Structure 1
Amino acid sequence: MELGEQSTRLLDANGHDRLDSPDVEQNLVHIPSSRGKGTVWRGWLRRKWRDPRWRDLVAVTVLVGVVCGALGYTLGFWARKSPGRASRPGVVPLRVMVAGDSISQGCESLHTWRYRLWEWFQENDVPVTFLGPFHQTRLQEQDLSIGVPLPAARPGDELDGPTAMDIGYALDVEPEFLRTGSAHLAIWGREIAQDLDIISRQIHDYRPDYLLVELGFNDLAFGGRKPDEALTLMQQFIEKARAASPELRFAIANLPQRSKIGDLDVRTGQYNEKLREAIPKWSLPSSPVELVEFMEAYSCGPINCPASLDGIHPNSQGELEIAHAFSKTLYHNFGIGQQPLALPADFPSRTCLAPATVATYPNQEYIRFTWDFVYGAYGYEVQVRQEGVDWVTDSANYTKERHMDTLWTTGGATWEFRVRTYCEVTIKSPWTSAVSAAVL
């Protein structure tokens, strides 16, 4: 008798399934066939299934599997929806691009708010790479008429690439920032209108996940545009960027107030109101647009501006306040990080050094007064007096160069010169010692 026939008879006798019978189990165990292995396995399972403890164990195992599977799916879903929360090794870093103007590019020797935001990503264990065609802050202009070389980078700044001084950042920035955080699309004096023709290509080339936008101030302040016109430009900017990357996420900053210039404060307020109303209309489920409350976070206005170094551009306090504003949107609206950037009780102070060396070079027409380069100088203030006359303490000649030619110092008199470094409106170095000269 073939095995198949025997098995059929055991199953079909009396018209009942007899696999629950001990006799059938015994017969199946001794069937010497490769097919018998499967049959033995089924018989073993049936014996176990009659044991209530075994059934309970199987039920618990299935339940645990279902719960773990559901939990894994949920965590995976939120990791995909909010990639910033993933901080495990091997996770692909977030790709972030900052599009902005001088407020975002920053000045030589400062940290920039971009660095403070990069620090926040690190503190929240969120891998991130900043993207863009530029890496520098706005470097101090070289005075080619002096011929004094710029100082070399300080010892300890060495790394595989440019140093902090090379690209204009504070000397204590983390070297890793220079590799992964210093890239940006921020240009001094930039308007939204100027970025319209380039943003599509930048998004296409760098493929950011998030576009952090700080633009519009120059359109109102210097571009002669009305709030409605600037708002239209911002909408076009978003549309062009989105066309290059349909799932791009946007964090759009409103405009800061600054020290008083005409009716700019009024027009800034009008633009910000319109921007708040427009952003929900621009947002899409696949490409959300969220507001960054830059103005509300920035300690600056027509009367007083402690967050700036000159009435608009951020100093150390302002950098942290702007980064705080962006981190709030990234956390609350995009679910990135564990909490927004916390502002310190005391903001870091800034050291402002005086030029180390000053000199005069008189000729028959004028006296040239020169001084050393100071890294991070926003500018310099010079005072000149005729020997024996008091300094005019509330008057100084401001310049971004490192020399001054005094055409008025004639008549054979002896003149004295001194200079100090201008770091911020309220932060200036001591005056240098005076040097004297007379026209030949």
Structure 2
Amino acid sequence: MLRFMPVGDSMTIGSAGEHTWRYRMWQHLCETYGGPFRIVGPRTALYDKSADAATSHAYAEPDFPQGHLAGWGEGWLHMAPLVGEAVRSGRADVLLVSLGLIDLGFYTDAEQTAANVRAFIAAAREANPRVRMVVLPVIPNVRAEADAPFAAQVARFNELLAKELADLDEPRSPLLPASLPAAYDTRRDTYDGTHPSASGEHKIAAAFAEAMWQGWGLGGPYTG
């Protein structure tokens, strides 16, 4: 049985009333993955904007496995110290990782963020030497559209991320870079320039799904 763990920031945890791309991915795996699987992770909540805390379970569709390692305002910097125990306790086999925007926006530059990517990968592998990871680059967002220096940092980090994944890839613990979601439009695919709308949720899930299908033959083409 494969155990998948979504890892991410506010775009992954989602907020009250949303489906989340995690739900879209679960639907996709139910439709295309030929064997038993589980969605795991130490957290299950959504972010509640009124409480400014991850205390909600008001999913638009709550009847799905809600496990994840994601947090509003958390990035590579925050997840690197947590991922080892999360992988160990959840016996995770495949990490679906979408991080980086919050790091570059508030905490670290591109090079420092890349160092935290290395720490994250090392900690996950210490917990499970055969863990697989699918990693999404920082996706389009409204700040990068309006702030040229920030956009340059995003582009630089995405270059460094691709290099780290290539350099650290190994047969027993493969690192699979996902492509940017196809035709991602911040006006249509987000509700505020950053966080995914329903169409954005589908496009993020599709980016992970297509990477696994094309790279590992796992699942199938995304049809959601």
Whether the TM-score (by the shorter chain) exceeds 0.5 is yes
Match of 2:10 in 1: 102
Tell me how far 1:140 sits from its aligned partner.
4.0
> In the alignment, residue 88 of structure 2 is paired with which amino acid?
H
Match of 1:383 in 2: none
Tell me how far 1:296 sits from its aligned partner.
4.2
Match of 2:121 in 1: 238
Q: Does 1:203 align with 2:87?
A: yes
CA contact (8 A) 2:12 2:21 kept: yes
- TM-score normalised by structure 2 residue count: 0.90
Q: 2:57 aligns with which of 142, 152, 167?
A: 167
Q: Distance in 2 between matches of 1:329 and 1:316?
A: 20
Tell me how far 1:196 sits from its aligned partner.
2.0
Q: Does 1:269 align with 2:151?
A: no
Q: Distance in 2 between matches of 1:270 and 1:141?
A: 35
For 1:184-199, list aligned pairs within 5 A: 184-199=68-83
1:61-90 CA deviation, whole Å, 9 max, x = no partner? xxxxxxxxxxxxxxxxxxxxxxxxxxxxxx
Tell me how far 1:251 sits from its aligned partner.
0.6
Match of 2:29 in 1: 121
Tell me how far 1:139 sits from its aligned partner.
2.3
> In the alignment, residue 341 of structure 1 is paired with which amino acid?
Y
- Tell me which stretches of 4 or more aligned residues in structure 1 moved more than 3 Å: none
Say which structure, 1 or 2, has more relative contact order (CA 8 Å, 6+ apart): 2
Relative distance call for 1:328 and 1:125 in structure 2 (3 A) is: closer
Q: Which runs of 5+ in 2 are unaligned?
A: none
1:8-47 CA deviation, whole Å, 9 max, x = no partner? xxxxxxxxxxxxxxxxxxxxxxxxxxxxxxxxxxxxxxxx
> In the alignment, residue 115 of structure 2 is paired with which amino acid?
T
Match of 1:137 in 2: 46
Q: Does 1:318 align with 2:204?
A: no
1:326-360 CA deviation, whole Å, 9 max, x = no partner? 001111112212x22125xxxxxxxxxxxxxxxxx
> In the alignment, residue 59 of structure 2 is paired with which amino acid?
Y
Q: Does 1:228 align with 2:111?
A: yes
CA contact (8 A) 1:96 1:211 kept: yes
Calculate percent identity across the aligned residue pairs: 29
Aligned residues: 217
Relative distance call for 1:187 and 1:298 in structure 2 (3 A) is: farther
Q: Max radius of gyration: which structure?
A: 1
Relative distance call for 1:140 and 1:174 in structure 2 (3 A) is: closer
> In the alignment, residue 168 of structure 2 is paired with which amino acid?
W
Q: Distance in 2 between matches of 1:309 and 1:243?
A: 38
For 1:83-94, list aligned pairs within 5 A: 92=1, 94=2
CA contact (8 A) 2:181 2:203 kept: no
> In the alignment, residue 221 of structure 2 is paired with which amino acid?
P
Tell me how far 1:125 sits from its aligned partner.
4.3
Q: Distance in 2 between matches of 1:125 and 1:227?
A: 35
CA contact (8 A) 1:298 1:307 kept: no
Q: Does 1:215 align with 2:123?
A: no
Match of 1:292 in 2: 178
Q: Which runs of 5+ in 1 are unaligned?
A: 1-91, 144-165, 344-440
Match of 1:254 in 2: 137
Q: 1:112 aligns with which of 11, 17, 20?
A: 20
CA contact (8 A) 1:298 1:322 kept: no
